[in-house]
Amino acid sequence: MDSPDFKAPQNYINRELSFLEFNQRVLDQALDESVPLLERLRFLCISSSNLDEFFEIRVAGLKQLLELGSGQFAGDVLSLPDQLAAIHERALQLVTDQYRCLNDVLLPAMASQGISLLGRTAWSPEAEKWLEQYFEHEVEPVLSPLGLDPARPFPRIQNKSLNFIVRLEGKDAFGRDSELAIVQAPRSLPRVVPIPGEGSKKSLVLLTAIVGAFVHKLFAGIKVIGCYQFRVTRNSDLFVDEEEIDDLRRALEGELAHRRYGAEVRLETSRDCPEDMVQFLLRQFALHDIDMYRMPGPVNLNRLSAIYDLVQRPDLKYPIFTPGLPKRLVGNTDLFAVIRQNDVLLHHPYQSFAPVMDFLRLAAADPQVLAIKQTLYRAGNDSPIVEALVAAANAGKDVTVIVELRARFDEEANIELSNRLQEAGAHVMYGVVGYKTHAKLALVVRREPGGIRRYCHLGTGNYHPRTARQYTDYGLFTANDEIGQDVHELFLQLTSLTQTPKLNRLVQSPFGMHEMVLAKLAREAEHARAGRKARVIAKMNALVEPQVIEALYRASCAGVHIDLIIRGVCALRPGVPGVSENITVRSIVGRFLEHSRVSYFENGGEPEMYCTSADWMERNFFRRVEVAFPIQREAHRQRILRDLDFCLSDTCQSWRLLPDGKYERIQRAADRAVSAQVELLAKYAAGAVVSP
């Protein structure tokens, strides 16, 4: 029998279409009646924001390749034009579903709870009077309507900004015919405005409705025929030729100014915008019908996220929870002593991120600490992590921070925090030219009676306290000598000019992680062929790297049972006869963003487990500095395995990937519904006792 062709295009799912399927799963949470109402609105907004970024980065990249005449094909051999056409068709359906969810489901449900988003026809006389005054005092002073004629060409439109195209009739003060004008809404204006004095009910009005109702006040003596929303999405990927620059930070600062005016990618208009005006806008932006999306509602659903904070209704939101702590950390102020005794494993957000912040605060204040070294990919504004590093530098400790300036959409924040760290006297580096530093590492060097000791924290997620409450991630504290030496060598590599270090326990990208994954999968296949125990469980955000997918197919054909838990994009096609019959793929979308990356290999009865900062993608294996760290304590391996088993048993927020590339929601069992995230909250949150 001939061996299957694992590289055959039909065995792969298009990456871009897989992402849109993921975004559909996010939107499905907005339709799930078991989710609190205002959380459902947030899921709708997240699906809108995800789609924006998809066009800004992924679609923009495809269009750029097409313009350059690239013949690039996807792994499933879709040509660039075919991919763009398929994306347009699928995105149109997604947009239709988004607005059906808003108009037919969420807005009526919110109204039944006394939360009304009022269109113009629903304004009471009192509300209309108040809104007119609001327009005159708060909105009109910051608007600058721009008439269009040969002396006043079409203005530059910022990326994703709110705009109105206004059709006019009449002559202006200079006797010129007035036909069209553009009104740009400054970003400083709130997009959702609460109407005061509505009693226990909450009445809200969108800025788009306010401008539409009173736009005539901007054009005295001119008749307004119509006013229509539009928004343009632009290429937001930054390009810096790192080999041709002397100062990466300064170059990025220059590029950030241009992001708002990158190449046009998508045009959105309100559904009532006349066809001739749509075509006029398409010509102005050099776009085509395939780039056009008509919206039966506000053109930027993500702006509705303001409602979540405007409406103080705890009964319509997820219950507040208090993260727990491992038993060994409860009431113990000497964190270094605890870590010396044995490794400590944390599972966020179920367990608190506070020990990570305490680790750095204690190090900053401890006179025995000589040096702190840290990687920062995303840290957030007013970060307590940065505060601790600044305090350590001010205290005279040797502080070295690898700040990744190119963390997408966090570039500006990272430039600011790097400036702050440098002002405090920290050594700030920007990693390696051509490679993003995505590894999550912190190293504290401490003088103790027995000599110098290294304490490490390694994680799957960012050093970001806010996302640590929203993303699921693992973090490990260890004082293991070999791991400490490995982390030391990695920081030397990132800050100095050294050869690739020989590591004892850690595995690094771009040197060796890809080879390690391929070798582990091949070893599982050998175990299966020899009749030994063979199994793989892998959890990650995305799987697209073709050689790893081929290795998974080979292991499946050898009899290895493979369970993949992949939140987002997956190019592997499971359940294909003779190729992937032993592979299952699940996706969990729930209250928390599934972000942890874990790989478990049965290894013939001698299991190995790694946590890592890397997904199984080309960029993570070859264009980023990533680290995988072994889970060495048996108690920790068993604990993570139980966590993974919750994910594999989930019947509430879990989807199964089918061979045709579609996802099927796993049905709840009649006897007992299992929600992995709810179970883990109960297991780890405050009050739960977890020893390891």
State the catalytic residues.
Answer: 438
- Residue 188 identity: S
Pairing of strands 264-270, 398-403: unpaired
Q: With CA atoms as reference, report the closest residue to 612 among 691, 684, 542.
A: 542
CA distance 44 to 32: 11
SS3 76: coil
**Cβ neighbourhood burial of 395 (10 Å; 0-12, 13-18, 19+):** middle
Q: With CA atoms as reference, report the closest residue to 502 among 486, 525, 523, 478.
A: 486
CA distance 683 to 428: 39
CB 171 within 8 A of CB 84: no
Tokens 């390696």, located at residue: 432
Q: With CA atoms as reference, report the closest residue to 101 among 204, 24, 49.
A: 24
CA distance 342 to 330: 15
CA distance 404 to 430: 6
- Residue 127 identity: A
As given in the structure block, the two tokens for residue 223 are: 């008749």
DSSP string, 564-608: EEESS-B-B-TT-TTTSTTEEEEEE-SSSEE---EEEE-GGGS-E
CB 577 within 8 A of CB 514: no
**Cβ neighbourhood burial of 577 (10 Å; 0-12, 13-18, 19+):** exposed
* Helix, strand, coil percentages in the chain from 3-state DSSP, rounded to 5: 40, 25, 35
As given in the structure block, the two tokens for residue 535 are: 């199994």
Q: How far apart, in Å, do the first and last CA atoms of the chain sit?
A: 50
β-bridge mates for residue 629, sequence order: 611
CA distances from 446 to 299, 337, 368, 449, 607 (A): 55, 12, 6, 10, 33
| Torsion (CA) 557, 563, 565, 566 in degrees, nearest 10 | 0
DSSP state at residue 56: I
CA distance 89 to 642: 40
CB 520 within 8 A of CB 537: no
Neighbours of 66 (CB within 10 A): 16
> Is the torsion defined by CA of 92, 94, 96, 99 positive or negative?
negative
SS3 190: coil
CB 182 within 8 A of CB 211: no
CA distance 597 to 23: 20
DSSP string, 368-419: TEEEEEEEES---TT-HHHHHHHHHHHTT-EEEEEE-TTSTT-HHHHHHHHH
SS3 487: helix
As given in the structure block, the two tokens for residue 612 are: 């890592």
Radius of gyration of the chain (CA): 27
In sequence order, what are the residues at sequence separation of 6 or more whose Cβ sits closer than 8 angstroms to the Cβ of residue 655?
Answer: 25, 586, 587, 588, 589, 663, 664, 665, 666
